[in-house]
């Protein structure tokens, strides 16, 4: 599939002003953007993405001032996080203000807000008279796109254009933080680590597993390749794999065998940030490689490693449970 690749911000702005959808680069993953304040445009985002209407969208803007105007109230902790991490891979879940269409929040009393860090998208957002709603630009349930080509492959013929900002720098979605009972809680792990948030606000909770509304980033099976992914001790899993040449190994920092070009090492430099940046592209490559199985391993459970492990766990899950 091909898409209308755009390199100029004003072109993308014209489509958005015209009520059309444009995929936008962010530092986390590509988003599928449309005017957040126009319910008909938001409905079109749900249709193109084949996304269930109970799954709310993040609103993206250029500044805390623009976004906080969409909230009914802003806890002090949210302002601190915005000061520290915006623009950046952090989404704040705040009580929703009256301007936000029902469809964006799926009827929830909370709205998700984020200032992304990609320079092209920031320039685009500054040039628009409205904020944009933007889910990750992939069909619902599939691996998020980290290049313009990923978007073109799956949604290219259904949207007005794709603003090409190169490969995403972080590679994992934003961390979602809300304030149930006034205290910060993480609803989705992502590009800002729990440790970084705790350095600012003190101990932070993991949000309850089954909140209302449901955040599908919390669904057990999500971010999933079609090829089965099994996680564990790679040598042990390889020893029991029936046909080693039909299996691909996805490892953190070192190869486990030689002579199998399908294998991928996420971070030869041993850095978690490198692994995060490469994870989704690696899952797509492996999915297209015709293997019968992907064998992977857990990463160190700290910093970005916890968000990566969360995505691996969901990519490996067999069923959609967790509703």
List contacts with ligand TXA (CB under 6 A): 26, 28-29, 31, 55-58, 89, 91, 93, 105, 108, 110-112, 114, 116, 134-136, 173-174, 176, 188, 213, 215-217
Pick the closer one to ligand TXA by CB: 110 or 130. 110
What is the smallest separation between the CB atom of 142 and ligand TXA, expressed in angstroms? Answer: 10
Residue 136 found at the interface with Mg ion (CB under 5 A): yes
The CA–CA distances, whole Å, from 173 to 6, 8, 120, 188, 240 equal 23, 24, 18, 9, 34
What is the smallest separation between the CB atom of 57 and ligand TXA, expressed in angstroms? Answer: 6
The Cα–Cα gap between 30 and 23 comes to 6
The Cα–Cα gap between 323 and 312 comes to 19
The binding track of 42-71 with respect to Mg ion, each residue x by CB under 5 A or -, is: ------------------------------
Pick the closer one to Mg ion by CB: 222 or 306. 222
Residue 115 interacting partner from Mg ion, ligand TXA, none (CB closer than 5 to 8 Å by kind): none
Q: Which strands sit side by side in the sheet containing 229-231, from one edge to the other? A: 229-231, 293-296, 247-251, 264-265
Pick the closer one to ligand TXA by CB: 89 or 131. 89
Q: How many CA atoms lie within 13 A of 194 on its CB side?
A: 19
Residue 149 found at the interface with Mg ion (CB under 5 A): no
Pick the closer one to ligand TXA by CB: 216 or 296. 216
Q: Which residue is nearest to Mg ion (CB)?
A: 136
Is 58:28 a contact under the CB 8 Å cutoff? no
Pick the closer one to ligand TXA by CB: 122 or 134. 134
Q: Interface with Mg ion by CB under 5 A: which range of 50-58, 85-93, 133-141, 276-284?
A: 133-141
Helix (H, G, I), strand (E, B) or coil at 274: helix
Pick the closer one to ligand TXA by CB: 107 or 270. 107
Residue 152 interacting partner from ligand TXA, Mg ion, none (CB closer than 5 to 8 Å by kind): none
Residue 174 interacting partner from Mg ion, ligand TXA, none (CB closer than 5 to 8 Å by kind): ligand TXA
Residues in contact with 181: Cβ distance below 8 Å, sequence separation at least 6, in sequence order: none
Is 79:96 a contact under the CB 8 Å cutoff? no
- Of 298, 62, 89, which is closest to residue 193 (Cα–Cα)? 89
Pick the closer one to ligand TXA by CB: 174 or 309. 174
Beta strands in 252-305, from DSSP E residues, in sequence order: 264-265, 293-296
* Cis, peptide link before residue 247, omega less than 30° from 0: no
- The secondary element (H helix, E strand) that includes residue 32 is strand 31-35
The token duo for 149 is 């080509």
What is the smallest separation between the CB atom of 111 and ligand TXA, expressed in angstroms? Answer: 5
Burial class (CB in 10 A: 0-12, 13-18, 19+), 96: buried
What is the smallest separation between the CB atom of 291 and Mg ion, expressed in angstroms? Answer: 24
Residue 175 found at the interface with Mg ion (CB under 5 A): no
Residue 111 interacting partner from Mg ion, ligand TXA, none (CB closer than 5 to 8 Å by kind): ligand TXA
What is the binding site for Mg ion (CB under 5 A)? Answer: 136
């Amino acid at each position: 599939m091909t898409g209308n690749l755009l390199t100029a911000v004003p072109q993308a702005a014209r489509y958005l002003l015209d009520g059309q959808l444009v995929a936008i680069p962010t530092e986390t993953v590509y988003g599928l953007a449309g005017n957040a304040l126009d319910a008909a445009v938001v409905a079109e985002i749900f249709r193109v993405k084949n996304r269930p209407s109970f799954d709310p969208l993040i609103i993206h803007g250029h500044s805390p001032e623009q976004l906080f105007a969409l909230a009914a109230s802003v806890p002090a902790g949210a302002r601190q996080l915005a000061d520290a991490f915006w623009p950046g891979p952090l989404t704040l879940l705040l009580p929703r203000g009256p301007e936000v269409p029902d469809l964006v929040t799926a009827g929830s009393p909370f709205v998700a807000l984020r200032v992304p860090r990609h320079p092209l998208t920031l320039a685009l957002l500054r040039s628009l008279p409205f904020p944009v709603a933007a889910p990750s630009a992939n069909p619902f349930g599939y691996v998020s796109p980290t290049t313009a080509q990923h978007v073109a492959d799956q949604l290219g013929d259904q949207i007005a254009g794709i603003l090409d900002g190169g490969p995403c720098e972080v590679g994992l979605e934003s961390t979602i933080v809300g304030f149930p009972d006034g205290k910060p809680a993480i609803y989705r792990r992502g590009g800002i680590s729990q440790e970084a948030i705790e350095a600012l606000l003190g101990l932070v909770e993991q949000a309850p597993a089954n909140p209302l509304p449901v955040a599908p980033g919390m669904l057990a099976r999500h971010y999933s390749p079609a090829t089965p992914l099994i996680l564990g001790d790679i040598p042990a899993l390889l020893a029991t794999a029936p046909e080693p040449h039909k299996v691909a190994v996805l490892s953190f920092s070192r190869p486990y065998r030689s002579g199998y070009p399908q294998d991928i090492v996420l971070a030869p430099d041993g850095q978690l940030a490198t692994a995060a940046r490469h994870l989704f592209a690696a899952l797509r490559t492996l999915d297209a490689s015709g293997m019968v199985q992907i064998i992977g391993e857990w990463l160190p459970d700290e910093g970005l490693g916890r968000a990566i492990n969360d995505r691996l766990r969901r990519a490996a899950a067999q069923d959609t449970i967790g509703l």
